[in-house]
Amino acid sequence: MAHCMVPEAEAILDREFPVLDKGFVRLVDYLGSDARIVQAARVSYGAGTRSFREDAALIDYLMRHEHTSPFEQVVLTFHIKLPIFVARQWIRHRTARVNEISGRYSILPEEYFMPSPDALAPQSADNKQGRENEPFDAATAEKLRAIIEEASAQSFKAYRALLDAGLAREVSRIVLPLSLYTEWYWQMDLHNLFRFLALRLDPHAQREIREYARVILEITRKVAPAATASFERYMLQGVRFSGPEMEELRRRLGLTAASEDGQETVGSSGLTGKDLARFEEKLRSGLQL
């Protein structure tokens, strides 16, 4: 099958989209598009290309019913520059193919991430792995930034000293900080890319990785606009309800359900405590991209 050329994607190939203070995302290559998805879905009965509306409706159907294999026919390859602490979260998505710069072969440049003052906030009181929404005051933030910058500079000073002493690069690098920027080529099919974006655009994801996810979402929109729009409707902006949550939803809407004796009734869901709080959060949720 011939390569599906998408003018909007071709226009941004190899363009660097800045992220954070020194990072970027660059679309290196792509294979397939919305057209490839519908071609793959219709291969069983050999149907040709339909209208855009019909294609978009089919993509919506596939997304809604979680028929994922046609989305796997589309593959995107990115060149990404990112801090190591972000990369270590990112690599948890093990369905990608990754090639990263190596500190064993290269002398690493003195490039480290410095958070902006509004990114510095206290530890969250109710989220063990996150920060509060409200940042520190400006004076405190500048003191914290100075500590971070001094620690990073000292790490690089030690790194250069070890290299100058003749220590092997693979050992010298161990003193470098998690704020160090790294680079990699990252390739993923569209189905798994959407799963990555659903997790990393969530408000509970770390702020810095959300910045990368937002840029990747917009690049993906250039490659497969109909699929990306469908992803936003059904995955990003939608929520799933458990069985008890559905019972609670029916109760609040005044809908009836058949009981064991055939009588229609509106029962109690049994949601309490944290379960009820999570349900309430789902009702209030609306992802701000």
CA distance 201 to 212: 9
Cβ-based neighbour number of residue 6 at 10 Å: 17
The Cα 271–Cα 246 span in angstroms is 10
Q: Give strand ranges (E) for the chain.
A: 16-19, 23-31, 75-83, 97-100, 181-189, 257-258, 264-265
Catalytic choice (26, 36, 173, 200) = 200
Q: How far is CA 217 from CA 38, 76, 198, 210, 220, in A?
A: 20, 12, 10, 10, 5
- Which residue, chain included where needed, has tokens 């855009």? 52
Quote the distance between the C-alpha of residue 69 and its chain's center. 20
Strand-pairing partners, residue 100, are: 184
Q: How far apart are the two ends of the chain, measured CA to CA in Å?
A: 35
Active site residue 42: no
**Which residues have a catalytic role annotated?**
200
